[in-house]
Amino acid sequence: MSDIDILVSEVGPRDGLQSIRTIMPTAAKIAWIDAEAAAGVREIEVASFVPPKLLPQMADAAEIVAHAKTIPNLAVIALVPNFKGAENAIRAGADKLGLPLSCSETHSQANLKMTHNQVIDEVRKIRALIDTLPAAERPGFEGSLSTAFGCTLEGKVPEGQVVRLAARLVEAGVDELSLSDTTGYANPNQLRRLIKLVRAEVGADKLAGVHLHNTRGLGLANVVAALEEGITTVDSSLGGIGGCPFAPGASGNIVTEDLVFMLDSMGLKTGIDLEQLLTVRNTVLAALPDEEMYGFTPDAGLPKGYAGGGWGLGA
């Protein structure tokens, strides 16, 4: 990613769609993924390998991954809740597996139906499975520290617990970590501090990404704090679709359109054509006419005379 400064990782087709009632047809998912990749998005979390009876929205996960893999220059991420999901995601050809570990054990049991120890055991088994593959075929493996900034069930999550779980995930075999504000509780100072603490424990190179929500309007404010700490991957969802179905009131991923406008106007290269990205919303809206979409830039439009790339700076 040497030609970009920040990797915007679109999570809408997974995180967004799993949170809403509508089941998006496979063809519509493919149209969405194609349109975002065509706008220059380099990484998309396209599906979740969970049992279809739990999340019928994701029943076509293998088909979606297989299609996404045909798109040049696109990193295809699949969420896997356990070893079984990882087997299926690897078989489908995902470039990277993402496994969420809820730092709140109550949330872990509600979300994945596993204790922390059980999740760590799954991580070890997945690592072992990946290592049986020829080196060139091994997917990346990311552990996501979810509810890292607080939990709708437990309330405050001690920082020490997040740091210990980060260390356990790395020890059990993930390649990298991300910090996830599943509940929209994070504030910029908390985010800066937790990034520093986790990096001090596992090494800066192990923590590249953040997954933030806009539940209380602080999503992009938290991104600014994360950028200052040197974070280079930021998750977001087109139209802010999604959240976590097991965290009540936790709707609202940060909005890809607003995020890309912010980064682009700051002069940070994302590889994404902002004007083209703004048209993708129409593709998604056509397939989800009854779902609420968020974001301000799509309504307000770009500034008059907007030229991107550090717009507004200089004489």
Closer to a second copy at the Cβ: 124 or 296? 296
**Shortest distance (Å) from residue 303 CB to a second copy:** 4
User: What's the half-sphere exposure (Cβ side, CA atoms, 13 Å) at 27?
Assistant: 2
Residue 45 β-bridge partners: 77
Q: Which of 244, 255, 274, 277 is catalytic?
A: 244
Closer to a second copy at the Cβ: 77 or 218? 218
Closer to a second copy at the Cβ: 25 or 248? 248
Residue the block writes with tokens 């990946």: 130
From residue 176, alpha-carbon distances to 133, 182, 184, 194 in Å are: 19, 18, 22, 16
Judge whether 244 counts as a catalytic residue. Answer: yes
**Shortest distance (Å) from residue 184 CB to a second copy:** 6
Which residue ranges make up the site for a second copy (CB under 8 A)?
A: 149-156, 158-160, 183-190, 193, 214-218, 220-221, 223-225, 228, 249, 252, 255, 258, 261-262, 265-267, 295-297, 300-301, 303-307, 310-315
**Shortest distance (Å) from residue 199 CB to a second copy:** 16
Q: Where are the alpha helices (DSSP H) in the chain?
A: 17-18, 26-38, 61-68, 83-92, 105-111, 116-131, 159-172, 188-202, 219-228, 256-265, 274-287, 297-300
Per DSSP, the residues of 237-278 read BGGG----TTSTT---BPBHHHHHHHHHHTT---S--HHHHH
**Shortest distance (Å) from residue 45 CB to a second copy:** 22
Which positions are annotated as active-site residues?
244
